[in-house]
Amino acid sequence: MIKLIASDMDGTLLNNEHKIPEKNVELIKYAQNNNIEFVVATGRAYYEALPALEENNIICDVISFNGGVVYNKNKEIISITPIQVKDLYYTIGIFKSLEISYQLYTKNTVYTHSIETDIQAYADLIRSIGSTPDLEYLRAESKKRLQNGHVTEVENIELYLNQEHNPSIKIIGISNDLDKLKKAKKLLSENENIAVTSSGANNLEVMDKNATKGHALKQVSEAYKISLKNTLAIGDNLNDEAMLKIVEYSVAMQNANPHLKEIAKYTTEKNNDEAGVADTIFELLGIHNNQKDEEINRLLINKAIEATKFSYVPYSEFKVGAALLTEDGEIYTGCNIENASYTPTNCAERTAIFKAVSEGITKFKKIAVVGGPKGNIETYCPPCGVCRQVIAEFSDENFELILGTSENNYEVYNFFKEVLPLSFTKNNLK
């Protein structure tokens, strides 16, 4: 089941006008409304990633600078991995020797020698993917970035490498001479302290070796206690490789670098200008989450059947088992426990629920119940009235009740719509 989605921005989540297509916005809202975490993983600085997100009222974690700085939903830094000054000088020395222009990305701004040179380089990158750049728009956007302090034009970038309150996160070399970039990459790879990647055909991005989207995504997944087996990552270029390699669901864009397509498990049918992110992920959510849901339902039925073996039913000999799925994916089982005075008898459903609550767990997704005389499970065994009331206490509108006789014969019911529609809950006491 997919519980966490990580998406690159440029060439992936954004279209060629640097906007998030409406369908991609719908995907993000759908994911967040269905308890699926969404995180942006971009080579951009945080301050450059925010405008497109805020324009669509999207609040999410942001992996910026290719993993150099990670921000949570509250815009707080949860990790920062600056590149060491000696490695900056090493990198700049190589770029200078090959006459490759470069930019310095710091926590607070991007230092560049020439904004116009940067505009032309970005226009070349757009042309390399088969699109036509809007130079007027690019210049207008660069002017905004300059006014906001997100870009700073300076004569000597090296004067800003070692600022105490504005650490350097990455440096980008830009050139249309691919042979120069190839040679630079080879030289840079000799330094074991840095990671070298690329977000386009005409650039090289250099960070600390631990500042990768892969490292950062792992950190985010651990913070949410979500396994990488339940994580999807999607991107279009080599700086996305680190995160695609570590997740179960790796997706390359239709417009992606050929190498990325080779390592990805899936490739979108549509490109970034056609909302390929939403098109493919909606499909994967439908296929894999539905398949996983069926697997979970069968597992719960089998766990409930197994629980009947422990039923204490010397008086009725009617064995009942229950398996309860928590919001975090844990399963608690329970059996019915009878008593000679009858009234203290506890049903299987309540046994499972009370076990979970006694350990501090109060949020549940579904419960499977099975039962029959002497453990012969031949018909459905619905909960009694008391158990329905207890279930209602700890359930939301999406809670499901599963009744069955085997993993191949069961039905799933929406609890409040089909089992206890006129329920009395804590909401009635407000």
Sequence-distant (6+) residues with CB within 8 A of 120 are none
Q: Mean pLDDT throughout 149-174?
A: 94
Name the band, by pLDDT with cuts 50, 70 and 90, for residue 288. low
**Which of 53-57, 214-218, 422-426 has the weakest average pLDDT?**
422-426
- Of 187, 242, 257, 178, nearest to 209 by C-alpha is 242
> To the nearest whole number, what is the mean pLDDT of the chain?
93
Report helix, strand or coil for 194.
strand
* CATH number for region 290-428: 3.40.140.10
Residue owning tokens 């329905």: 388
What are 209's two structure tokens?
């070796």
Q: What is the pLDDT of residue 133?
A: 80
Q: Is the pLDDT of residue 37 over 90?
A: yes
pLDDT band at 1 (very low <50, low <70, confident <90, very high): confident
For domain 4-80+212-285, give the CATH number.
3.40.50.1000
Active site residues: 349
Nearest to 6 by CA among 225, 231, 180: 231
**Given this model, what pLDDT does residue 380 score?**
97
Q: How confident is the model at residue 34 (pLDDT cuts 50, 70, 90)?
A: confident
Q: What CA–CA distance (Å, rounded) separates 220 from 87?
A: 27
Instruction: Name the pLDDT band for 221 (thresholds 50, 70, 90).
Output: very high
Within 10 Å of residue 295's Cβ, how many Cβ atoms? 12
Check pLDDT > 90 for residue 329.
Answer: no
pLDDT above 90 for 247: yes
Q: What is the DSSP letter of 83?
A: P
Pairwise CA distance, residues 208 & 321, whole Å = 54
Confirm whether residue 60 is marked as ligand binding.
no
- Which of 3.30.1240.10, 3.40.720.10, 3.40.50.720, 3.40.50.980 is the CATH number of 85-208? 3.30.1240.10
pLDDT at 128: 73
DSSP H helical segments within 8-45, as ranges? 22-33
pLDDT of residue 289: 59
Alpha helices in 85-240 (DSSP H): 85-97, 115-128, 135-147, 178-188, 213-223
Is 36 annotated to bind a ligand? Reply is no
Q: Collapsing DSSP states into helix, strand and coil, what is residue 91? A: helix
Q: Band of the pLDDT at 200, cuts 50, 70, 90?
A: confident
Q: For position 369, what pLDDT does the model report? A: 98
Helix (H, G, I), strand (E, B) or coil at 77: strand
Rounded to an integer, the average pLDDT of 355-370 is 96
- Identify the pLDDT of residue 426: 86
Grouping H, G, I as helix, E, B as strand and the rest as coil, residue 338 is coil
> Is 340 known as a binding-site position?
yes
- pLDDT tens for each residue of 370-388: 999 999 999 999 999 999 9
337 is in an annotated binding site: yes
Check: CB of residue 385 under 8 Å from CB of residue 426: no
Gap between the Cα atoms of 40 and 328, Å rounded: 23
pLDDT higher at 18 or 41: 41
How far apart, in Å, are the Cα atoms of 67 and each of 17, 37, 155, 283, 428? 24, 18, 28, 28, 47
pLDDT bracket for residue 138 (50, 70, 90)? confident
Q: What pLDDT shows up at residue 116?
A: 86
What is residue 290's predicted lDDT score, i.e. its pLDDT?
62
Instruction: Tell the residue number behind the tokens 């910026």, with chain if given.
Output: 64
Strand order across the 69-71 sheet: 77-80, 69-71, 61-64, 37-41, 4-7, 231-235, 249-252, 266-267
Tell me: is residue 335 an annotated ligand-binding position: no
Cross-strand partners of 331: 325
Other C-beta atoms within 10 Å of 44: how many? Answer: 22
- pLDDT at residue 287 above 70? no
17, pLDDT greater than 70: yes
322 is in an annotated binding site: no
Q: Order of strands across the sheet with 400-406?
A: 331-335, 318-326, 364-373, 400-406, 409-414
Report the pLDDT value the prediction gives residue 169, as an integer from 0 to 100: 96
pLDDT at 126: 75
Which tens digit of pLDDT belongs to each residue from 45-99?
999 999 999 999 999 999 999 999 999 999 999 999 999 999 999 999 999 999 9
User: What average pLDDT does the segment 399-425 reach?
Assistant: 94
Q: What are the domain boundaries of the chain?
A: 4-80+212-285, 85-208, 290-428
The mean pLDDT of 392-406, rounded to a whole number, is 95
Residue 361 has pLDDT above 80, yes or no: yes
Give the number of other CB atoms < 10 A from CB of residue 354: 14
Q: Stretch 270-296: mean pLDDT, rounded? A: 85
Instruction: Please report the pLDDT score of residue 140 as a whole number.
Output: 86
pLDDT(328) > 80:
no
Residue 336 annotated as binding site: yes
